[in-house]
Structure 1
Amino acid sequence: MQKLLETLTDLHGPCGHEQPVSKWIRDNVTSLVDEVSVDALGNVIATKNGNQPGPSMVMTAHMDEVGFIVKKIESSGLIRFEKLGGNDDRNLLTQKVQIRTKKGLLIGVIGSISAHFAKFDDASRVRNHRQLYIDVGAKNKQDAMDLGVEIGSPITWAPSIDYLGNEATGRFVGKGFDDRAGCAVLIQVLQELDQADFCGKLTAIFTVQEEVGLRGAQVAAHQVEADVAIAIDTTAVSDTPEETMDDTLAIGEGTGIKVMDFSLISHPAVKDHLVDLATTNKITYQMEIFPGIGTDGGAMSLSKQGIPTGVLSIPSRYAHSPVEVIDMTDLLATKDLLKLFILSLTEESSFLFIED
């Protein structure tokens, strides 16, 4: 999955501008499924039919990454920007970014004062992103426009993925793991199911605009009929020494089985089945209660008459930054448990709120 993760995170696709990701995923899952389409918003919906009767299942992950968008080009050639998704102003200074233009990709830097000027500034001040700017090397406004910069050009962190430490750690650092790691899980599961026997119908939905309010999932959910759904996303761990951390979720300790977040209280029957499968098959897992996030699972659960929904979370450090960190063992545990869930379904499978 490492190569798949590298390829996906290298793609440029902030909220509302996921075209390169939508196209790559559409083209690369076509041979693995029976039908694939891209809806008007950009969601990729891929359906694979099992060889035996059974329930209809949805698995979903979002393609968008947090980013920015060009708001203004100053006469100096420096670029003002607005946020796409939840970026923390404390993470912005002196970071490399990548601007997508009709002429190609540009590398820029979010500027800051030199350290030599720090003694003349308020060192405790965190400047709002609207006070910041991106430097692409342009000498003036026309120069920036000649490079291809326009109002509305989308921006991401500059692509990067490396081992954290070295390969012995099994941990990776880079941008866009939220949620290209989840997309990698879905694609890997489709690859491993290519010649496998399973029951029912499986629909993989790769959504857009999750980071700005689960918008893609809200649209996609109404296009499918489903008996059960599993969303795959990253989640922020609490295993570092800051005073706000409570050490309830840790990197390297297995996939997170969601209990609740602000968008979803996981369906008990789905959650319990995931726990049973993980326990029986010795897949490492941890229970997740984190009201600080939401996932596409929240939107899926509210579709039509309601879909029994659960979430598997990939533990992550430093979320929504250019240096997100995940552990490959967690990624593989998430993939293995999702695959087992699909293969466990039978014609009789149901996820009732009240068992008779």
Structure 2
Amino acid sequence: MQKLLEQLTALHGPCGHEQPVSKWVRDTVKPLTDTVKVDALGNVIATKKGTKPGPVMVMTAHMDEVGFIIKKIEENGLLRFEKLGGNDDRLLLTQKVQLRTRTGLLTGVIGSISAHYAKFDDAGKVRNHRQLYIDIGVKNKAHAIELGVEVGTPVTWKPDMEFLGDETTGRFVGKGFDDRAGCAVLIQTLQELQREDFAGTVTAVFTVQEEVGLRGAQVAARQVEADVAIALDTTAVSDTPEETMDATLALGAGTGIKVLDFSLISHPAVKEKLIHLANDKKISYQLEVFPGIGTDGGAMSLANHGIPTGVLSIPSRYAHSPVEVIDIGDLNATKELLKAFVLDLSEESGFGFIG
């Protein structure tokens, strides 16, 4: 799965500009599924039929990553920008970014004053992103335009995935794990299902624009009549020493089985099935109550006449930054529990609210 993750996080796809990711995912899952399509918004919807009768299951992850978009080119060539998704102004200064123009990729940095000027500034001030700028090394506006920059050019963090520490830690650092890690799990699961008999139909939905309000999932969910859904996403752990952290979720402690977030109260039958399977298969897990986030599971649960929905969360540190951190053990636990859920389905499977 490491290779899948490297390939996915190298792709440039902020909210609303996921074309490279949609194309790569479509081409990758095409030989693994019976049908695949890209809808008008950019969601990739791939369906694989099992060898036996059974329910229709949706498993979903989002392809977009937080980023930025160029809104103005100054006369000196510096670029003003707006946010795409939830970026924290405190993390922006001096970070490398990547711009995707019509002709290719450009490297930039979000500028800041030199440390030598700090004594003349308010050291505690956090400047709003609208006061900041991206420097791509050009001397003037004409040069920036010549390189292909225009109003609307999308921007992400500069890709740079590697081991945190070294390979013995089993932890990766990089951008876009939210939620390319979930996409990697979906693809790995589809690959492993090639060697398995399973019941029913599995529809893998790779969504767009999750980071700006679950927009892709809302559109995709209306296109699928499903009996049950599992959403995959990362979740922010609370195992570092800041005073706001409560140590309820930890990196390396297993996949998160969602109980509640602000977009979803997990369907009890789905949640209990996931817990049962994790215990039965000895898959490490932790229960997640975290109202600070939402996932595509919220949109899926409200689709059509309502879909019983659960969420598997991949624990992550430093979310929405260029240095997100995940643990390979948690990634594999998420994949193993998702696969176990698929293989446990049968013609008799039901997810009624009262039994």
TM-score (norm. length: structure 1): 1.00
Residue of structure 1 in register with 2:122 after alignment: 122
Residue of structure 2 in register with 1:223 after alignment: 223
Amino acid of the structure 2 residue aligned with 1:266: S
Q: CA deviation at 1:196?
A: 1.3
1:210-236 Cα shifts (integer Å, max 9, x gaps): 000000000000000100000000000
Tell me the distance in 2 between the aligned counterparts of 1:200 and 1:76: 60
Amino acid of the structure 1 residue aligned with 2:249: L
Q: CA deviation at 1:195?
A: 2.9
Residue of structure 1 in register with 2:93 after alignment: 93
Q: CA deviation at 1:164?
A: 0.4
SS at match of 1:45: strand
Tell me the distance in 1 between the aligned counterparts of 2:73 and 2:95: 19
1:26-83 Cα shifts (integer Å, max 9, x gaps): 0010000000000000000000000100000000000000000000000010000000
Tell me the distance in 1 between the aligned counterparts of 2:161 and 2:24: 19
SS at match of 2:350: coil
TM-score (norm. length: structure 2): 1.00
Tell me the distance in 1 between the aligned counterparts of 2:123 and 2:144: 31
User: After superposition, where does 1:1-356 map in structure 2 within 5 Å?
Assistant: 1-355=1-355
1:280-313 Cα shifts (integer Å, max 9, x gaps): 1100000000000000000000001000000000
Which segments of structure 1 move beyond 4 Å, counting only runs of 4 or more? none
Tell me the distance in 2 between the aligned counterparts of 1:184 and 1:195: 18
1:226-275 Cα shifts (integer Å, max 9, x gaps): 00000000000000000000000000000000000000000000000000
Q: CA deviation at 1:12?
A: 0.1
Tell me the distance in 2 between the aligned counterparts of 1:29 and 1:256: 25
SS at match of 2:299: helix
SS at match of 1:251: coil
Amino acid of the structure 1 residue aligned with 2:137: G
Q: CA deviation at 1:103?
A: 1.2
Number of residues of Structure 1 aligned to a counterpart in Structure 2: 355
SS at match of 2:340: helix
SS at match of 2:7: helix
SS at match of 1:179: helix
Tell me the distance in 2 between the aligned counterparts of 1:48 and 1:103: 36
Amino acid of the structure 2 residue aligned with 1:301: S
1:171-230 Cα shifts (integer Å, max 9, x gaps): 000000000000000000000001310000000000000000000000000000100000
SS at match of 1:64: coil
Cα-Cα RMSD: 0.3
5+ residue gaps, structure 2, are: none
Between the two proteins, what is the percent identity of the paired residues? Answer: 78
